[in-house]
Amino acid sequence: MTQPAGLTGPISVLIVDDHPVVRRGLRVLLEVQDGIEVAGEAGDGATALALAAELTPDVILLDLKLPGLDGLAVLAELKARGGSCAARVLVLTSVTEPASASLAVRSGAAGVLYKDVDPDALVRAIRSVHDGHLLLAPEAAGNLVRAGSGWGAVAGLDALTSREREVLAEIAKGRSNREIARALTVSEKTVKAHVSSVLAKLGVQDRTQAALLAVRNEQGA
């Protein structure tokens, strides 16, 4: 199989989910992808930690609802292991409470997606977190940005006006300029100007990078 440029070997993935049918579906999806291989599967937290140490996967696809040690406990243990476990963890969960996404990110998750994600988007997410990016479902990013504190901890965030912060929160929800204009009761032209200002002040190239920068700030707050 032809591997994506820049990779020296396939991305090894450890699938962690308590439902055998889900694990099987994920395995079938990933095994047909170029440059990705399934290193193993775990149905509970303790097994996940054991396999993470044994198999040293590049990416761990982790459910939050697990018997015994839940996903957050697994994340905490992996974080405590530090350099001995270099795996990037992508949470794939049906738990949509904002607090769960926030806790997952604070515990070291490189990404949070919900189980209704498009299969192709999931594959792209695995590659993205493996490349070192932070990736969240728009809903999760929006919740973290809106709940964030200490905006000034990341260069540029303290320069945003209150209206620009509102626009940033709307961007994180995945909303278009037209939808933001409707939500904030301003013109689309005004929103476009605010978006350009936000991107310039944060020093980022696109809307996704702007939202994720705010999430990184919340992670380190």
The pLDDT tens digits of the residues spanning 127-174 come to 988 887 777 666 666 555 555 544 444 556 778 888 988 888 787 666
Cα 73 from Cα 204, distance rounded (Å)? 33
Domain match, 215 and 114 both: no
Residue 36 lies in a domain: yes
Q: What is the CATH number of the domain that holds 64?
A: 3.40.50.2300
CATH number where 165 lies: 1.10.10.10
Q: How far is CA 22 from CA 42, 73, 160, 165, 176, in A?
A: 11, 21, 42, 38, 33
pTM: 0.65
- Residue % of the chain over a pLDDT of 70: 76
Q: Coil, strand, or helix at residue 133?
A: coil
Whether 124 and 211 share a structural domain: no
Res 211 pLDDT > 80? no
Q: What 3-state DSSP class applies to 51?
A: helix
**CA 218 to chain CA centroid, nearest Å:** 13
Angle between helices 138-147 and 207-220 (to 10 degrees): 50
Task: Return the DSSP state at 154.
Answer: S
For 175: left if phi > 0, alpha if psi spans -120 to 50, otherwise beta; the answer is beta
- State the Cα–Cα distance between residues 20 and 77, nearest whole angstrom: 24
In a shared domain, residues 154 and 126: no
Q: Do 78 and 46 sit in the same domain of this protein?
A: yes
Range of the domain at 211: 147-220
The encoded tokens of residue 79 equal 């974080």
Q: What is the pLDDT of residues 46-86, one digit of tens each?
A: 999 999 999 999 999 999 999 989 999 999 999 888 755 67
